[in-house]
Amino acid sequence: MIEIDGKSLTIEQVTAVARGAAPVAPLSESVRAEMTRSMEWLRGVIERDERTIYGVNTGFGPLANRRIRPEQASRLSRNVVLNCLAGVGDPLPEEIVRAMMLVRANSLAKGLSGVRPELEETLIEMLNRGVTPEVPSKGSLGASGDLAPQAHVAVVLLAEPAEGAEPPDGGKDFSGHAVYDGERLTGEEAMSRAGLARVRPEAKDGLALTNGTDFMVGTAALAVADAESLLAHAEIAAALSLEALCALSAAFHPALQEASGQPGQMAVAARLRSLFVGSDLIDTEPYRVQDAYSLRCVPQVLGPPHDLLGFLRERVTTQLNAASDNPLVFMDLPGQEPGTLSGGNFHGQGPALWMDVMGIAMADVGGIAERRIFRLLTAELNGGLPAMLIENEGLDSGLMVAQYTAAALVSDNKTLAHPDSVDSVPSSGNQEDHVSMGANAARHAREIVENVRTIVAIELMTATQAIDLRRDGPSRLGRATSAAHGKVREHVSKLERDRQLSPDIETMVGLIRSGELLKAVEAATP
């Protein structure tokens, strides 16, 4: 079980809960005690009406100077959720919503948000019992955090206040929508079927659930995990293409890489050399002086993303364990009484920059892969293989249009890679006068990764077809690339005549997603 304590959540744990339905453990007594301590202090301050605390007994944004009465705190908590239900667009994938929920639960576990353990425990049980709120994909500025996406989660969890005041929509306790057991239901019905009671809000519950970086960071965690796996598959695809084109190994010599001094470049070159071990295709055309850039510069192009993903893993992991709502309750400030501090931990400029850079890096991984696909299909460039990698040229067109698809995705990535983090549209009466657009950056980076996964799938298909057309090609492969070739052929047969290619491409995308190909290659790599 995944234990959350506000300080040790990992990208792997997020992935396990978001995609594999790994269970989340009940809160430890120490976490419960820390949460209860700050909640009771905050509750006492509100009941005594002894100080002004933003968003707890005041309005929001430019309305922060409007003080409310203590007995209105629970209504305010509910209202901030209703007010933020402004998301639009197609629903987010369930895995992203589950990642968001886990990130929020972990943030609350730090005990700085001033909310009850019961709120946290309900969120955990929603994950464990499979209640996934329906969250529109667009509407967040990435500051004050991901208000709209998180509100669409919070409305399923939070019911109307207990004081009996009539709900603002004419008596209806609006609960949003959620998926439970594969069925789209109202949030109230989904919670009921799962055996869960919705929580009546207290002061700050609504703010603590809506204010933060959950969508940006949850999406980033999944994107980093996917990009790391995808980069390893891109190296395998490149190795198969290099063998299919009888590339020269000199470009990957250790001394050449060490002369550059770039760790990612050296790592990629070492990986390629290990994939080539035993090859009888590499260096079989010695009359060539050097290869094209898309072949000999693989380490220089894939190396920087390798380095970047190491940095992103570190930063995203830190952000997974951050308290990102506002204000925060601090019980043990040196030399001070317990109190709240208002700041901007919800601001997503970091995630925005990180996802922008990752999108740019991964877009180029796809760009160089498409150039190798083109080279493999072009008779003037592929070293004696049939045009379009089909033996019955003319009547059949082979993999011609698969390259079109790859090219279209490369072009799509160029648009998606335009940085979102340089944009800002002031909002909330200019109180929020600089926003991160980190939610857009996260969505776009994820889409780029998905596009690149398809491009790499097409390269794997294309390189495998080329090797089959090379004289005794499969038997001349290196040990690891032979394992890759064999695994591809278990799922997609050689193209003998024209056929529908979309199913083959989707099958290869699924093979990459599953990690089965990577495991087979790693088992065969010296």
Position 163 scores a pLDDT of 59
Position 65 scores a pLDDT of 83
Give every residue of the chain whose pLDDT is below 50, as ranges: none
| CB 367, CB 459: distance < 8 Å | no
Position 61 scores a pLDDT of 78
| CB 347, CB 235: distance < 8 Å | no
Residue with tokens 């050689």: 494
**DSSP single-letter state for residue 8:** -
Written in H, E and C, the secondary structure of 89-124 is: EEECCHHHHHHHHHHHHHHHCCCCCCCCHHHHHHHH
| CB 454, CB 409: distance < 8 Å | yes
CA nearest 325: which of 310, 305, 345, 308?
Answer: 345
pTM: 0.96
How far apart, in whole angstroms, are the C-alpha atoms of residue 16 and residue 23?
Answer: 9
Position 158 scores a pLDDT of 96
CA nearest 85: which of 152, 131, 16?
Answer: 152
Position 31 scores a pLDDT of 97
Give the active site residue among 54, 180, 287, 404.
Answer: 54
| CB 352, CB 436: distance < 8 Å | yes
Consecutive H or E run containing 481: helix 479-491
Position 21 scores a pLDDT of 82
How far apart, in whole angstroms, are the C-alpha atoms of residue 237 and residue 406?
Answer: 14
pLDDT in tens, 196-250: 999 999 999 999 999 999 999 999 999 999 999 999 999 999 999 999 999 999 9
Active site residue 287: no
Residue 180 has phi, psi (to 5 degrees) of -140, 130
Domains of the chain: 11-212 (1.10.275.10), 219-323+348-422+437-524 (1.20.200.10)
Residue 246 has phi, psi (to 5 degrees) of 55, 50
Position 169 scores a pLDDT of 56
Question: In the sheet where 177-180 sits, what is the strand order?
Answer: 132-133, 177-180, 183-186
Position 115 scores a pLDDT of 97
Position 165 scores a pLDDT of 52
